[in-house]
Structures are given as structure tokens and as C-alpha cells.
Structure 1
Amino acid sequence: MNLLRKSLLRYATFFLFIFLIGNGVFALRIVRYPYLQNTTEDSLIIVWITDQNGDSLVEFGLTPELGQEANDPTSTTRHAVQLSGLATDTTYYYRVKTNGQILSEIESFKTANGADNPYFTMTIFGDSGEGTSAQHAVAAQIAAIQPNLILHTGDVIYPNGADFFYNARYFDIYRDTIKAVPVFPCLGNHDYLTSRGGPYLRNFYLPDNAVVPEHKGRYYSFNYGGAHFTVLDTELVPGGVGNADQRAWFEADLVAAQDALWKFVYFHRPPFSSGRHGSSISIRNVVAPLAEKYNVDYVFSGHDHTYERTTPILDSAPSSKGVLYLVTGGGGASLYDVGRSDWTAFSGKFYHTSKVTVENLILTLESVDSTGEIQDSFVWRKGVLVSSISNQTGEPRPDAQVRVLIGARQRAQRATDGDGIALFYVAEGEYALEASAPGCQTQIIEGVRIQAELLTEVPVSLSCP
């Protein structure tokens, strides 16, 4: 009798299980809400995670009625669908499905601005992933800013970058922002502690333009609204930013970006800092000379849990015209004390995100603390310098090289185009201009005055015997 009861109970349990599945009681669930990755002018990736395997489908369109689809039939719990052929600087609506089941509300995103529309807002922060009340407060300020894109300066997940913590200490906290705004992060030292950043590389779908295959996603670059962004890996083994492959890629990337209106570089460990960790001299020795040579505007970092903005720096010293550096490591982890150095313009110990607004030739930086107060602000204005290089008979020299100098220091270098013209975007101030071409005498023009937001034309006639 007991055996019969056990058999009946076993069959009843089995049929109940089948009934529950058929009626959706054990339906597939979303365990990570959609987030945007690698937004460009005409494409982006939408990512979500489910608790069961299934296909991946995104419905999208120019209105909430949607009307278009992109899908991947592969059965998986980690879903990543690329939308391509999109219009630049355009708002789209979307929702995600797996196995025919709608898993999100209708959300929206905007594609990246092109170079002809250099107007955007970004937020920059780092050292965030402890799940603290401070992290939640900073996240609320980021959401209130409504940026076009977000940069993260590393240490996304404490204590060790483990996948286990990603939902609670990142995705859940920023969910309502990252469903509409792309985040472009870099690796921090804590992110490296699990499989040398393996969970980070699985969770973020980043540009894969690093030349060495095993370095893809560790350092990369992208464009947005006329600006060029270069992201480095300070933790790369061996050598960090001094790794031969990464350094060569870094310089080649800056060379290719010389036409960008703004050039930003960011990574985790700071080359200039008055905080607990202080300046990384090895990183400074690699980054600063290249940043100066190729006219980088701003270098962002974290690692020190502080806020510190420098004056322009040239040759490791304060200057009226040089590269600006920012430590913005107050994203949520416990704060550090911070002092001042001779190149410090402002420093403070407070939770924050850095808001940067680009409006053509004007950049405005505001440090927004966890209560929404602005603790520091700064405006950087550029002018346009156009030099037309010809020989003494008036023929253009497309083979000329032009350098912009501050004293004897090179600030920027450019080859002329087919019409013998070189174009520079530089800060307001006085410069010298050096022009040279094969078979011609080098000419230096002193006292070239650049005014903010204005165009200055400097014709140069070379003597070419």
C-alpha cells in the first residue's frame, strides 16, 4: 500500500510540474534588465540576462509603436543584440523579448552625435562598486544630469571584481540610467583581482579596436560628437600603460585622431594626484609626453577616492597652456584625504560625479556632489588656428609639417592636407608656429595670438631654393 501511494504521489508530482510549466508558473524571468553598450552614430548593443536559455529579440523603431526587429536565435541566458543602420543623433524606442516573452517596458535611447554636432554632456566617475548609500546617492545625481554618455574610471566592483557582485553593486544601482545611456568603463586594480578582469570583459561589450586579440576590451577608443576618447588599461600585465603593444597602439590612436575637436584620455591610476596613492610616475612618464605631443585636452582617472582638478600641465609643471588632469574617484567607495600640489587648481574629499558639457569650442566641468551641490566648476575655451603653407611662388605645400609651440615645447603637430592647410584647435593664448617642408627652409612665426571661439588664419610662405 505504501508503495502504491509513493507511486501515485510521484506521478501526481510529475503531472503537476508539467501543468505548472504549461501555465507559465515557471516562466522565464529577466535577472538583469536591458542596458546599452558601445553606442555609435549608427549602431549600439542591447544586453540583458535571463534565468533560462532562450533566443534574443529586440523590437525597435522611431516611435513607441516600434515596427522593426533585430534578433539572434542562439539559445542563451546572456543576450546581446546589435542594432545597425541607425540614424545619427536620433531617438529610438525599444523593448526586449526572449522566447516570445516581453521582458521590458518600452524604453528609449539616442544614437551618438556626429562630428558636425559637437554638443553633448557626459558624466565621469569611478571607484564606486561597494553598494553603499553614497553610491546610490551619486547614482541619483547621474540620473538627474541625464547625460548622453558615461565614463567610468575603474574599480567598478569591490572588493575583487567578482561576477557575483555585478548586479547588486552596479547593474541594479544604475538600472534606470544605463537602459538609456551607454557607459564606457576602464579596468581598475580591484576589477583585475578576479581572472584578470574576466567578469568585466564578459559584462561590458566594448569597442574591440585593440590590435592584439587578447587585449580587446582592455583598452579601446571611440568617437562621440566631434570628440575622440582613448581608454587605457593601467593594470595590463606586463607593464601597464607602458606595455609595448598598448603604448604603440596608444600613440597610433592619437595620431589617427588629430582632426578631433576634443581629445580625452582616461584610465584608472592617476599620473597627477595629491591623494593617498599619489601620482603614478611610471604612468605619467608614458602618458604625459604623448598627451602633450598630440594635443590631448583632458586626462581623467580615479584610484584615489578624491576629487582633484589640475591647472594645465606641461613637462610635469603648471603652465598657462598644457594638458588638464582630473581625479574623479568619489563614486561610492570610502573616501581618502587629499592635499594640494603646485599643479592643483582644486581638490576635495567628497562623493561626486564630474559633469562635462561640450558646446563646440567650450568645455564646462562641474563637480556635482552626492546632494546635488556643485563643489567645483571650470570652463576651458578653444580657438581655431588655420595655417596655409605655400612656397614663394604661392603653390601650396601638401608635404609640409606644422608645429604649434609654447616656448620651445611642442604642443601639437600636423601634416598639411592636399591644399597645404593645417588645422588646430588650441586654447586661447599666444603661440609660435613652425612650418617645414622637404627642400625648404624652416620658418618660425612668433607671437601668434589665438582668441577663444574665434578663427585665426596664418599664411606661411616657405623659401624653397
Structure 2
Amino acid sequence: MSHENDQLVRPRILAGWTTGLLLLIVSVSSQWWATGYSQEEQTSPIRLLRHPYLQKGTGHSMGIAWMIDDDQPCSVEYGLTRELGHVVQSGKSQRMHFVEITGLEPDTRYYYRIRSGKTWLTPSDESYHFSTHATDVRRPFSFVVLGDSGQPEPGDQCPLADLLRSLHPKPDFIIHTGDVSQRWALDEAEYDLLAFGVYRDTLRNTPFYPTQGNHDWVTDWEHGLDPLYPRYIAPGRLDSRLTERFDMPFWRVFQSPRDNADKTVAPFSFRYGNAMFVCEGGAGRGAGRSLAEKRFAEAGVTWRFFYSHYFGLAGNAVPGGDLGWKPPLPQCDLTFRGHIHVYSRSAPYGPHQSVDLLVGCSGSGIGSSYFESVVTPQNPHGLRPGITEWNEKCPHLIHILVD
């Protein structure tokens, strides 16, 4: 009997030992898998979702914006050489980051890199640089005007992006007359597709100062915000603070100097050398007049530029497609606007002999229908009197050199 029991016990002990070993192996394996997985998650590198772009430049400062794929703090290292040597923190754990580097020398190139923790988000590449605005009124400079951008497809914006990179001299900055998105700007991702994805290599080292167009306004019937709201609202009632109040993507993506009397996102201005630029910024008819009167009168200002999506001096190339200033702007040399998808240039106009340029097709569909609706035997091109140049055939940009 005892022998039989012993034979029964030994297999049970062996089976129990085997089961225990199996459980131990499973436990160790599970622990290793969980630990390994956790370590892999913790060491997974942060990645850029939106590559850096330059905003709010002055003679002594520059802003850099970017977006990452996780809520983490970041920092920017910068310096006069690629050895860098200075650091500014964007310390909040967030995806969208913006830092403003101050205390810089005017008209000076600085190199920069962005990191999150120990992870470099940008390479040590000389294309990651910025130059502060010139303050010397004798310094020549150039800039590019874009407007009503389109889809990032061959034959659309991409050839313009290639042209922009090949311009000589390299433009010191870019202004945009609105409709950076040709959709309805319902989401920030539209700007990643329609702007940052196309002009990424340029925007990392060339400041970009857009105004807000009608397509950059969110459709929001609940709050009474029609996409064409800026156009049809009574003069003086439109307030750019609405874009902040309803958290519209445009002013989350782009930064404003907020240098108007109310410290709102628009209108705004900036200076470069002997030139002053005032942007209506989507704030509505008349919103930039008082700011222009103040800024255009500053000492040392030789050239005065104003840009908007709708409003100009001489009227668009196509009758019926514009909103003018009544009374007109103060003394101004050039006005730029978009909305109508063609290019036109006016003869000198008004008491100050200003020139009005319509820059309305930097990649969007050509607006031939605008011309067709007003073509007559006496006016075969459908153009209003006073237009000296026009382009209704291809996308375009303007490169302006100031000497």
C-alpha cells in the first residue's frame, strides 16, 4: 500500500514542480514583456508633427513655432554659430509650442535647434536659421507676397514653392493676403496640408506674416459666423477678437504682435529697415486705418505698405469684386490684397498716387469666371479702367526688392 502511495505521490510532486516552473517562467516572461513594453513606451522618441516656422520678427527678437506628437516640454538652443550656446525654454507639457527669443542683434543670422528632453527634434543643419529684422534705413531688402493658396498638388502650389526657394536674392520675409486654407479652416490640420507641408523648407528660415481671409474663418452657424462674415458685416462691427473667442484655428496657428491699441490679434504692424507694413488681419473695414496713420508717420519710414484680404485703394481688376476704403487710407505706396483669383496691378491712384496689387492666385484655381462675367466688345478682358497689368492664366507670387 505504501509503495503504491509513493508511486502516486512522486508523479504529483513532479507535476507540481513542473507546473510551478511553468508558472514561474510565465510570470517572469510576463514581467519582462510588461517591463520591456513600458521601457519602449518611455523611450519612444518625440516627433515633429509641424516643422518649425518663424513668426513675430523684430530687429531684436524672433518667434519660433512648432508642434510635436505628445504633450511634452521643449527647448530651443540657438547661437551665432552652429555650436549654438544659448537656450530658451518652452516649459509647458503641450503639443503646440511657441517661443520668442529676445535680446538679439538686428539684421543678424542665428542658428537654432529644437529638442524635447534628450531628443533632438531638428538636425544640426545650416538651413535651421533665422535673421532678425534690419533696422538700418539704408539696407536694401526684398520680400514675397502670396495670396489665396491652393492644394499641394503638381501644377498647383508645389511649382510656386520651388520658385520661392530659387529666388535671388532670397526674400527676407513673406506676407500672405489671406486664404492660407482654400477650405474653411475647420481644423489646424488644414494648414499642415495646405501651407506647412508645401513651404516647410522655406518657413523654417523665412518669417511668414499672413492675414486672415474668408476661407480662414470657421463656418459656425450656432454663433452666427458665416465664412463670408468679414465681408458682409457692417463696417466697424467686425472684431478680430471673435476669432479668439470662438477658438478659430487661424490664430492658434499664427502669432500676432498685438501692437494695436486694444492689444488684439488684428490689425497689426511690423517694420523692416525703412519700410512699415500694416496688416488689416481680418479685423474688418477701417480696422487698420488708425494703426496705419500712427505707424506710417514714424521717423525714418520711407516706404509704406498695407495688406488685407479684401480692402484696397484702386479696386480689384474685376468690377464688383472689391471693397474699398471710404475715406481712403493715409499715404501709402503699395496695397496688396487677394480674394479674387487673378493678378492685377493698377496705375498710380488717388491723392498719394498709390499702386494697388491684387495677388489672388498663389496656387488656387484661376478665376476665369470673374472675367467672363464682365467681358464686352469694348472691354474684351473684363478689366476695369486703370489696370496696367494682369494675369489670368497661371498661379503667381510677387517678389519685391526695396533699395
**1:31-69: CA deviations, max 9, x gaps?**
111111111111101111111122221111111111121
1:158 Cα offset (Å): 2.1
Whether 1:108 and 2:144 are equivalent positions in the alignment is no
Q: For residue 185 of structure 1, what is the aligned residue in structure 2?
A: 210
How many residues align? The count is 333
Which residue identity does 1:54 align to in structure 2?
A: Q
- Judge conservation of contact 1:187–1:218 (CA < 8 Å) in 2: no
Whether 1:150 and 2:150 are equivalent positions in the alignment is no
Which residue identity does 2:50 align to in structure 1?
A: R
- Judge conservation of contact 2:67–2:97 (CA < 8 Å) in 1: yes
- Judge conservation of contact 1:56–1:81 (CA < 8 Å) in 2: no
Q: Work out the CA distance in 2 between the residues paired with 1:21 and 1:304.
A: 50
Q: Work out the CA distance in 1 between the residues paired with 2:320 and 2:143.
A: 26
- Counterpart secondary structure, 2:401: strand
Q: For residue 117 of structure 1, what is the aligned residue in structure 2?
A: 138
Which residue identity does 1:19 align to in structure 2?
A: Q
1:194 Cα offset (Å): 5.0
Q: For residue 276 of structure 2, what is the aligned residue in structure 1?
A: 228
Q: For residue 400 of structure 2, what is the aligned residue in structure 1?
A: 356
**1:249-297: CA deviations, max 9, x gaps?**
443343x4364110000000143112386222xx3324xx223xxx210
- Counterpart secondary structure, 1:202: helix
- Judge conservation of contact 2:286–2:325 (CA < 8 Å) in 1: no
Q: For residue 389 of structure 2, what is the aligned residue in structure 1?
A: 346
Whether 1:159 and 2:183 are equivalent positions in the alignment is yes
Q: Work out the CA distance in 2 between the residues paired with 1:87 and 1:250.
A: 26
1:226 Cα offset (Å): 1.0
Q: For residue 30 of structure 1, what is the aligned residue in structure 2?
A: 48
1:140 Cα offset (Å): 1.4
- Counterpart secondary structure, 1:77: strand
Q: Work out the CA distance in 2 between the residues paired with 1:201 and 1:176.
A: 22
Q: Work out the CA distance in 2 between the residues paired with 1:343 and 1:115.
A: 35
Q: Measured at CA, do residues 118 and 285 of structure 1 come closer, stay the same or move farther in structure 2, by a change above 3 Å?
A: farther
- Counterpart secondary structure, 2:162: helix
Gaps of 5+ in 2: 1-18, 221-241, 372-381
Which residue identity does 2:137 align to in structure 1?
A: D
Q: For residue 325 of structure 2, what is the aligned residue in structure 1?
A: 284
- Counterpart secondary structure, 1:93: strand
- Counterpart secondary structure, 1:65: coil
Q: Work out the CA distance in 1 between the residues paired with 2:290 and 2:111.
A: 40
- Judge conservation of contact 1:275–1:336 (CA < 8 Å) in 2: no
**1:122-168: CA deviations, max 9, x gaps?**
00011004333311111111121121010100001121023121111
Q: Work out the CA distance in 2 between the residues paired with 1:241 and 1:253.
A: 18
- Judge conservation of contact 1:270–1:303 (CA < 8 Å) in 2: no
1:353 Cα offset (Å): 0.5
Q: Work out the CA distance in 1 between the residues paired with 2:30 and 2:105.
A: 58
Whether 1:203 and 2:253 are equivalent positions in the alignment is yes
Whether 1:16 and 2:6 are equivalent positions in the alignment is no
- Judge conservation of contact 1:331–1:351 (CA < 8 Å) in 2: yes
**1:71-128: CA deviations, max 9, x gaps?**
2322221111211111111111111111221110231121111143331110001100
Q: Work out the CA distance in 2 between the residues paired with 1:200 and 1:273.
A: 25
Which residue identity does 2:401 align to in structure 1?
A: T
| More strand, by proportion | 1
Q: Measured at CA, do residues 11 and 205 of structure 1 come closer, stay the same or move farther in structure 2, by a change above 3 Å?
A: same
Which residue identity does 2:162 align to in structure 1?
A: A
**1:388-408: CA deviations, max 9, x gaps?**
xxxxxxxxxxxxxxxxxxxxx
Q: Work out the CA distance in 2 between the residues paired with 1:54 and 1:334.
A: 40
Q: Work out the CA distance in 1 between the residues paired with 2:195 and 2:81.
A: 30
Q: Work out the CA distance in 2 between the residues paired with 1:210 and 1:31.
A: 32
**1:232-259: CA deviations, max 9, x gaps?**
03x43xxx2235xx544443343x4364
Q: Work out the CA distance in 2 between the residues paired with 1:56 and 1:16.
A: 26
Structure 2 matches for 1:25-424, cutoff 5 A? 26-106=44-124, 107-133=128-154, 134-145=156-167, 146-162=170-186, 163-193=188-218, 197=243, 198-213=248-263, 216-233=264-281, 235-236=282-283, 240-242=284-286, 246-254=288-296, 256-257=297-298, 259-271=300-312, 272-275=315-318, 278-280=321-323, 283-286=324-327, 289-291=328-330, 295-314=331-350, 322-337=353-368, 338=371, 339-349=382-392, 350-359=394-403
- Counterpart secondary structure, 1:64: coil
Q: For residue 426 of structure 1, what is the aligned residue in structure 2?
A: none
**1:329-372: CA deviations, max 9, x gaps?**
1111111124322210101112010000001xxxxxxxxxxxxx
The higher-RCO structure (CA 8 Å, 6+ apart) is: 2
- Judge conservation of contact 1:130–1:159 (CA < 8 Å) in 2: no
Structure with max Cα Rg: 2
Q: Measured at CA, do residues 130 and 91 of structure 1 come closer, stay the same or move farther in structure 2, by a change above 3 Å?
A: same
- Counterpart secondary structure, 1:124: strand
Q: Work out the CA distance in 1 between the residues paired with 2:215 and 2:117.
A: 37
Q: Work out the CA distance in 2 between the residues paired with 1:333 and 1:122.
A: 21
Q: Work out the CA distance in 2 between the residues paired with 1:82 and 1:56.
A: 13
- RMSD across aligned positions (CA): 2.3
- Judge conservation of contact 2:150–2:365 (CA < 8 Å) in 1: no
Q: For residue 14 of structure 2, what is the aligned residue in structure 1?
A: none
- Counterpart secondary structure, 1:140: helix
Report the TM-score when normalising by structure 1. 0.67
1:174 Cα offset (Å): 0.6
Q: Work out the CA distance in 2 between the residues paired with 1:253 and 1:67.
A: 36
- Counterpart secondary structure, 1:330: coil
How many percent identity over aligned positions? 29
Q: For residue 377 of structure 1, what is the aligned residue in structure 2?
A: none
Q: Which moved more, 1:187-196 or 1:99-108?
A: 187-196
Q: Which moved more, 1:350-359 or 1:198-207?
A: 198-207
Q: For residue 7 of structure 2, what is the aligned residue in structure 1?
A: none
- Counterpart secondary structure, 2:367: coil
- Counterpart secondary structure, 1:285: coil
Report the TM-score when normalising by structure 2. 0.77
